């Protein structure tokens, strides 16, 4: 085996965006879990990772090899044989999240980027260690999301304004229509450094698989750690990548 630890993005990598994992993917992923530590790193909350992915794995899967990094790695959970145990969290106080939410509302008002846009469910969600803007709402249909900001220009504008208002926080362009805000220095790179230390495996022997490793994509931030990366077009290609890792 060329790599000793594999990390995966979730949406459009292991599953379609916010959709439950396919049975076929479960089989491939379970095989990988049998042979090496594997991590899921995404902007979603832990509950969302559970519902969308982890709860679909077979009961006898090798859960001791599985690490969950929800909220852009602002949190980590691992399974101790009985239950999921939080390894760390960079939870924010209510004062912090209120400041972030106010900043989001003010840049949305300033830019009018969402004027006339429908909202499917909540637009701004406080996930505890991360505040997320989902421009068209949490439940927006996939085709509308794809059409909203295909080149990321709208969110780049929002990010540059938010960086000025929130210099002490990390503002990341997420998948689809989202912007994720965490404590400074907390983004997907944190999961790589943490796992490397925890399992005493050099980053050069780890691999990250994601659909948005291109410049400006929400996986591209991992490249600065020196980790080897593999880009996927979606779950189908990811299954082939998984087989190549075993
Ligand atoms: Mg993705």
81 and 10 part of one domain: yes
For residues 119 and 151, membership in a common domain is answered with: yes
Shared domain check, 132 and 100:
yes
- Would you state the pLDDT for residue 190? 97
Do 59 and 105 lie in one domain? The reply is no
% residues pLDDT > 90 (the chain): 91
How far does the chain reach from its first CA to its final CA, in angstroms? Answer: 6
Which class for 143: exposed (0-12), middle (13-18), buried (19 or more C-beta within 10 A)?
exposed
What distance in angstroms lies between residue 229's CA and the mean position of ligand 1's atoms?
14
Indicate whether 28 and 136 sit together in one domain.
no
* Residues 195 and 157 reside in one and the same domain: no
Residue 13 CA, ligand 1 centroid: distance in Å: 6
Quick one: 103 and 179 in the same domain?
yes
Tell how strand 228-231 and strand 206-210 pair up.
parallel
User: Ligand 1 (ion): which residues have CB within 5 A?
Assistant: 9, 11-12, 175, 211
Tens-place pLDDT, residues 182-194: 999 999 999 999 9
Residues 63 and 115 in one domain: no
- Judge whether 15 and 52 are in contact, CB under 8 Å: yes
Q: Return the CATH number at 238.
A: 3.40.50.1000
CATH number of the domain where residue 115 is located: 3.30.1240.20
Q: How far is the CA of 210 from the centre of ligand 1 (A)?
A: 6
Q: Considering only residues 175 and 171, tell me which one the structure prediction assigns the higher pLDDT.
A: 171
* Side-chain half-sphere CA neighbours of 153 within 13 A: 4
Instruction: Check residue 187 and give its pLDDT.
Output: 95
Q: What is the rounded CA–CA span in Å between residue 145 and residue 140?
A: 7
Ranges 25-29, 36-40, 79-83: which has the least confidence: 79-83
Q: 148 alpha carbon to ligand 1 midpoint, in Å?
A: 16
Tell me how far the alpha carbon of residue 175 lies from the centroid of ligand 1, in angstroms. 5
pLDDT in tens, 90-104: 999 999 999 999 999
Average pLDDT over residues 42-51: 96
**Full residue range of the structural domain in which residue 127 is found:** 94-183
- Residues 9 and 84 occupy one common structural domain: yes
Query: Among 55-69, 97-111, 165-179, which stretch is predicted with the lowest mean pLDDT?
Result: 165-179
Residues 6+ apart with CB under 8 A from 11: 17, 18, 42, 44, 175, 176, 211
Report CA(4)–ligand 1 centroid distance (Å).
Answer: 22
The arithmetic mean of pLDDT across residues 166-173, rounded, is 94
* 77 and 194, same domain (yes or no): yes
Q: What DSSP character marks residue 244?
A: H
């Amino acid at each position: 085996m060329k790599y000793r630890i594999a990390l995966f993005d979730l949406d459009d990598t292991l599953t379609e965006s916010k959709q439950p994992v396919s049975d076929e993917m479960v089989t491939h992923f379970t095989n990988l879990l049998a042979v090496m530590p594997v991590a899921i790193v995404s902007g979603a909350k832990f509950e969302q990772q559970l519902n969308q992915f982890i709860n679909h794995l077979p009961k006898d899967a090798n859960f001791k090899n599985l690490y969950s990094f929800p909220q852009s790695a602002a949190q980590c959970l691992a399974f101790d044989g009985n239950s999921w145990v939080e390894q760390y969290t960079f939870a924010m106080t209510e004062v912090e999240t209120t400041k972030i939410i106010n900043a989001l509302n003010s840049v949305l008002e300033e830019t009018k980027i969402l004027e006339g846009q429908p909202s499917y469910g909540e637009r701004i969600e406080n996930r505890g260690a991360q505040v997320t803007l989902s421009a068209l709402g949490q439940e927006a249909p996939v085709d509308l999301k794809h059409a909203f900001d295909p080149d990321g220009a709208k969110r780049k504008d929002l990010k540059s304004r938010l960086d000025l208002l929130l210099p002490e926080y990390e503002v990341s362009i997420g998948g689809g229509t989202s912007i994720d805000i965490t404590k400074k220095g907390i983004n997907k790179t944190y999961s790589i450094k943490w796992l490397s230390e925890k399992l005493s495996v050099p980053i050069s022997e780890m691999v990250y698989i994601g659909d948005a490793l291109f410049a400006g994509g929400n996986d591209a931030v991992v490249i600065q750690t020196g980790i080897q990366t593999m880009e996927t077009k979606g779950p189908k290609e990811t299954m082939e990548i998984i087989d190549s890792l075993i």
